[in-house]
Amino acid sequence: MKEITVKIVDPIGLHARPASNLVSVATKFSSNVKLVANGREANLKSIMNVMALGVKSGAEVTFKFDGVDEEQALEAIQEVLKKENIA
C-alpha cells in the first residue's frame, strides 16, 4: 500500500473538472484508489464519491493506493495533480 498527502491549492478546491480527470485516470488501474479528506474516505473511481467530499482550497488530502499496479497509479495521479495545478 502506498500513500501521498497533498494540499489542495486550486482556489475553487477539488471541483468537477479536476475531479473528473482524477477519476478518469484512477479507473485505468486495477488497484484500489481512495481519497481521504475531511475525515472521510471516498473511492477515487467514483465521481459522485469524490464530489461528495466537498474538498475546499487549502485542505490536506491523502490518496491511498493498494494493488498490483499501485506504484503506476500513484505516479499517474501525481501527474494529474501537477498538470491540473490542483496540489
| Residue 61 near residue 40, CB atoms below 8 Å | no
Which of 2, 15, 43, 72 is labelled catalytic? 15
Active-site annotation holds for 15: yes
Cα–Cα nearest to 20, from 38, 40, 45, 54: 45
- Please report, for the chain, the start and end positions of each structural domain, with discontinuous segments joined by +: 2-83
Question: pLDDT by residue (tens digit) across 1-53?
Answer: 999 999 999 999 999 999 999 999 999 999 999 999 999 999 999 999 999 99
List the single range of 2-6, 60-64, 70-74, 83-87 with lowest mean pLDDT.
Answer: 83-87
- CATH fit for domain 2-83, picks 3.30.428.10, 3.20.20.80, 3.40.50.300, 3.30.1340.10: 3.30.1340.10
pTM score above 0.85: yes
